[in-house]
Amino acid sequence: MTQVNTLIDQVVFAWQELQKKSPLIQCITNQVASNYAANVLLACGASPAMIDNPYEAESFTRIVGALSINLGTPSSEQMQAMKISAATAHQESIPWVLDPVGYSPVLKWRSDMVDTLLTFMPSVIRGNASEISTLAGEQSLSKGVDSTLNSEDVYKHAKVLLKSSQCVAISGPSDFILSQESDQVIEIKGGSILQPRITATGCSLGALIAAYCAVAPINTATIAAHVHFAIAGKLAYEKAPTLGQFNVAFMDELFTLNAEKIKQHIDIQIH
């Protein structure tokens, strides 16, 4: 319990730092997620900037607290910006998050770019079980960009990705977080069955991880972002179990999270 209590204290402190510092977060994300991700960051206390033009990428990345890159619907210009911003973040030791949406042999263009981006050592790689499994070299069948695997089945194989990143986060009914810091795996429970049915919740989680990385150590930041989402999803579902109402309630719960709610509702295990 001592380790869990320490983790809870670290999550609370990270949340407090996010509110206090309101870091500027650059998001190069997909057209489906852009507006939603920006609203999630604002609700959680960060300041989003959706700068994805290659002519602005380098100069802007130099001034941000963290960078989030999402391969959901990449355009040619976005792809250029991703490479420039990732290289700049790596050079300037700015934390950045890679969300390899749709990584698979079927979508070779974007998958080749993900392989290139990995050379710039993302602070965190996050994705659903299918994406992480494929990225780690395991064969999996993915229905579009939705996961067809369970996160629990994948995390043991995902450790190879820690050669390219400080932290790997696998989202699902339970979220699993691996880090270079420790051989232990952190499991975070909570959330709602409705979250996967709202466009851009996973993409927004990547952006929120980046926001926390701007104010806390990478491992703590990744855990804190998942806890933030898990508690908000759980409480929103209790109030609003239908999809449209849940979507509004979820944003409200992201906004109204506080230290007391974290301590009361966090559901975290160490493996």
- In DSSP terms, 128 is beta-bridged to 171
Residue 52's Cα: distance from chain center in Å?
18
Q: For residue 236, is it left (φ>0), alpha (ψ between -120 and 50) or beta? A: alpha
**Contact indicator for 222, 212 with CB cutoff of 8 Å:** yes
The pLDDT tens digits for 155-166 are: 778 999 999 999
**178 within 8 A of 148, measured Cβ to Cβ:** no
pLDDT reported for residue 157:
82
Q: Which amino acid is at 261?
A: K
Sheet hosting strand 182-189, strand order edge to edge: 47-49, 24-28, 66-70, 96-99, 124-128, 167-171, 174-179, 182-189, 268-270
Determine the 3-state secondary structure of 181 from DSSP.
coil
pLDDT in tens, 65-77: 999 999 999 999 9
pLDDT at position 138 is 55
259 is in an annotated binding site: no
Q: What is the pLDDT of residue 252?
A: 98
Q: What is the pTM of this model?
A: 0.94
Indicate the number of domains in the chain: 1
DSSP state of 81: H
Does 81 count as an annotated binding residue?
no
H/E element, 150: none
The CATH number given to whatever domain includes residue 171 is 3.40.1190.20
pLDDT band of residue 139 (cuts 50, 70, 90) is very low
**Average pLDDT along the chain:** 93
DSSP secondary structure letter of residue 102: T
For residue 71, give the 3-state DSSP assignment. coil
User: By mean pLDDT, which of 103-107, 242-246, 257-261 is the weakest?
Assistant: 103-107
User: Residue 76 sits in which domain range?
Assistant: 2-270
Q: Which is more confident, 146 or 26?
A: 26
